Amino acid sequence: MFNINKNYKRTNISKPIRFNEELLDRMMEFKGKHDISFNSLVLQCCEYALDNYKEAENENEKN
Q: Would you say residue 38 has pLDDT above 70?
A: yes
Region 15-37: what's the mean pLDDT?
Answer: 96
pLDDT-derived band of residue 20, with 50, 70 and 90 as boundaries? very high
Rounded to an integer, what distance in angstroms lies between the CA atom of residue 27 and that of residue 6? Answer: 15
How far apart are alpha carbons 29 and 34 in whole angstroms?
Answer: 9
Q: What is the pLDDT of residue 24?
A: 98
Q: Compute the Cα dihedral for 13, 10, 49, 52 and give only its sign.
A: positive
pLDDT of residue 56: 62
Burial of 8 (0-12, 13-18, 19+ CB in 10 A): middle
pLDDT of residue 58: 66
Q: CA dist 28 to 1, 18, 61, Å?
A: 20, 14, 37
Does the model's pTM come out above 0.85? no
